[in-house]
Amino acid sequence: MRRFRSSILLALLCGSALSTSSVSAQGAGDLAIVTHPGTPVTQLTFTELRQVLKGDKQYWSPDLPVVLFVRAPTSAERSAVLDVIYQMSEPQFKQYWIAKQFRAESATSPKNMRSNELTQQFVASTAGAIGFMAAADVKSGVKVLKIDGHLPGEAGYKLHLTKTK
Q: Which amino acid is at 87?
A: Q
Q: Which of 132, 162, 137 is nearest to 147 (CA)?
A: 132
Distance (Å, whole) CA 161 – CA 100: 27
Q: Is 94 in the site for another protein (CB under 8 A)?
A: yes
Least distance CB 154 / another protein (angstroms): 23
Residue 40 binds another protein (CB under 8 A): no
Kindly compute the dihedral angle of the four CA atoms of residues 55, 60, 66, 72, in this order, to the nearest 10 degrees. Answer: -70
Per CB under 8 A, the list member of 43, 50, 137, 163 interacting with another protein is: 50
Neighbouring C-beta atoms of residue 7, cutoff 10 Å? 10
Pairing of strands 129-134, 31-35: antiparallel
CB of 92 to another protein, least distance (A): 6
Q: Which stretch binds another protein (CB under 8 A): 24-32, 111-119, 137-145, 151-159?
A: 111-119
* Nearest distance, CB of residue 143 and another protein, angstroms: 18
**Does residue 127 bind another protein (CB under 8 A)?**
yes
Give the integer Cα–Cα distance in Å for 121 and 94.
Answer: 24
Interaction site with another protein (CB under 8 A): 47-48, 50-51, 54, 56-59, 61-62, 65, 67, 69-70, 86-99, 101-104, 106-114, 118, 122, 126-127
